[in-house]
Structure 1
């Protein structure tokens, strides 16, 4: 029993090491995959106090990748990278094409817009937001969100240790 406790403590120490925990996934470029990506990041952020905010960011970034780039065509895909520490970093990578992702101003123009304010919403939830890439090679749109509590262990990793 003592060996099991030391082993479990050792595994927990390894999982909560000094470097951030990091995940990368690729998803088919279909609208139903936005929900799959959202559920994945929500599970990773469980217990941080920012689950809903991180989920909203992922939903917006993934939906934009499908809607505004070649990621939404056949055989398109989008990638998501998540790093967790005191700050959650979420980056969504698309296949390029279309226009450069930009944050719209809150100042109304002469023409009312029905959409185009998603990245503005993301910028309000995040402590930092950015874009890099090109229309040819693809863009990564990323956001960082301060977490309310330090990460202990991701939910799926905790279950592995419990068995």
Structure 2
């Protein structure tokens, strides 16, 4: 049987076809699983030049899920969803029970929210980001990343967290 009969063409055409590639994974809500999710996402983006940026976004979002929601409790979990396209989509879903995810201000004199600057870091790496859900049912915090932009280009503006 020849290759034309298969209808797929080359491996590159199949791998980098017009449809975006999507993955979903669920991880136990433990701190050690943040690194596992980070490595998984970085591996998916290998060769894009944005592997480390993606890894940082996943680590920050997953850390927040484990630290600030029921995901970090016994039998908790968090979900990772990734879409690889020119505008990549990265989302982490938690089990809720914590505060509404908020970007911490860099303004002097502002009282910090719980934790550090994780969402602020994500906002600087993302084209845009947002959140949906509730404390009762869980939040999904997502970031769109422009893979067409080189990793060394960082916008100076802060992205607003949209819901």
Same fold (TM over 0.5): yes
Structure 1 contact 50–148 (Cα < 8 Å) conserved: no
TM-score normalised over the length of structure 1: 0.82
Distance, in Å, in 2 between the alignment partners of 1:110 and 1:58 is 26
In structure 1, what is the equivalent of residue 118 of structure 2? 118
Structure 1 unaligned residues grouped into runs of 5+: 150-163
Once the two structures are superposed, the pairs formed by residues 104-143 of structure 1 within 5 Å of their partners are 104-109=104-109, 115-143=115-143
Report Cα offsets for 1:67-91 as digits up to 9, x if no partner: 0000000100000000011021100
Query: In the alignment, what sits opposite 2:72?
Result: 72
Aligned to 1:52: 52
How far, CA to CA, are the matches of 1:56 and 1:89 in structure 2? Answer: 14
> Which residue does 1:3 correspond to in 2?
2
Q: Of the two structures, which has the highest relative contact order with CA contacts closer than 8 Å and spacing of 6 or more?
A: 1
Please report the RMSD computed on the Cα atoms of aligned residues, expressed in angstroms: 2.3
Shift in Å, 1:116: 2.6
Contact 1:91 1:143 in 2 (8 A): yes
* 1:90-121 superposed Cα distances (whole Å, 9 cap, x missing partner): 00000000100001111022657894311001
Q: Structure 2-normalised TM-score?
A: 0.82
Contact 2:71 / 2:96 at 8 angstroms: preserved in 1?
A: yes
